[in-house]
Amino acid sequence: MSGQVRIADLLSEGMKALGAAGIEAPAREARLLLGLAAKVPPAVMIGFPERSVESEAAAAYRSLIARRADREPVSHLIGEREFWSLPFVVSRDVLDPRPDSEALIEAVLAEIPDRAAPLRVLDLGTGSGCLLLTLLRELPQAHGWAVDLSPAALDIARRNAERLGLAERVTFREGAWVAALAAEDPSNFDLIVSNPPYIPAAEIAGLEPEVARHEPRLALDGGEDGLDAYRALAPMLRTRLAPTGLAALEIGLGQAESVTGLMTAAGMVPSGRQADLARRTRCLLFRTV
């Protein structure tokens, strides 16, 4: 029919393009993107592939296929990513929230005896805000400070705070680490969390294209050995953490001992660690005493 394109033809076209681009599950992703572009339910795609969609929807689908074939993450095409069962707006300006980072949430919550306490929570390098905002949902009387060097990332974090009904409990600060804090902000915090850049610079090009080409290098590049951010953070944590406070840091593969050494040299005391879903150490905990 003029002005329409068959579902079967669109799916075949999309699967071929995605398969050629190295996408692992081209059929599944082609169906997902057709559903996104044309609002076609999966049952219709499977049971009635001879049906057609309007040419405008077909064009929107082909645009999504082209972007995915360029290895743009599906989350960017959809515009959000789930973390801790919460929806977070994402874009190329922030790292995608990842299930591995939930290890930090688990570790922190296990260390807080009173979740109703009015805690002061600082998130250094907040990105999408997934760590801070998830913690604020679990700590209903807490207030958070979200710090990021990227104004675009802070815009995303603000949007997520608003969507989750947490905007009134977050103070946003643009700048480098604790230097971004203003005079009226607390001198120390009950909880400091951070998922800093920790990928060695030379390894970034070898990451999956979805990461290497479509996520912000500023949030990935940890310097020559991946530890630059931890070197900067170590003295800051010691001076900005309350006497009974807790610091939680996400780390990369094989970095546990190096990061622990940096923190202890700065006067921090190791207080625990948490593994991710693959049973790799993903989060380190520290206190001042």
| CATH code at position 248 | 3.40.50.150
Same domain for 88 and 63: no
Same domain for 268 and 203: yes
User: Does a structural domain hold residue 220?
Assistant: yes
Average pLDDT of the chain? 95
> Does 195 score more than 50 pLDDT?
yes
Residue 246 tokens read as 């807790």
> Does 91 score more than 80 pLDDT?
yes
Residue 168 tokens read as 């009134």
pLDDT score at 1: 41
Q: H-helix or E-strand containing 192?
A: strand 189-194
97-105 average pLDDT score? 96
Same domain for 278 and 135: yes
Output the pTM of the full model: 0.91
Same domain for 16 and 152: no
Same domain for 270 and 151: yes
Number of domain units in the chain = 2
Work out whether strand 269-275 and strand 189-194 pair parallel, antiparallel, or are unpaired.
unpaired
What whole-number distance in Å separates Cα of residue 235 and Cα of residue 117? 27
What whole-number distance in Å separates Cα of residue 181 and Cα of residue 188? 11
User: Does a structural domain hold residue 124?
Assistant: yes
Rama region for 22: left / alpha / beta (φ>0; ψ in -120 to 50; rest): left
Q: Evaluate whether 53 touches 31 at the Cβ level (below 8 Å).
A: no
Work out whether strand 143-148 and strand 120-124 pair parallel, antiparallel, or are unpaired.
parallel
User: Does a structural domain hold residue 76?
Assistant: no
Task: Give DSSP secondary structure letters for 195-233.
Answer: ----B-GGGGGGS-HHHHTTS-GGGTB--SSS-HHHHHH
Same domain for 66 and 16: yes
User: Does a structural domain hold residue 75?
Assistant: no
204-218 average pLDDT score? 95
Domain ranges, residue 41: 4-70
Same domain for 149 and 19: no
Q: What confidence category does residue 3 fall into, taking pLDDT thresholds of 50, 70 and 90?
A: confident
What whole-number distance in Å separates Cα of residue 232 and Cα of residue 53? 54
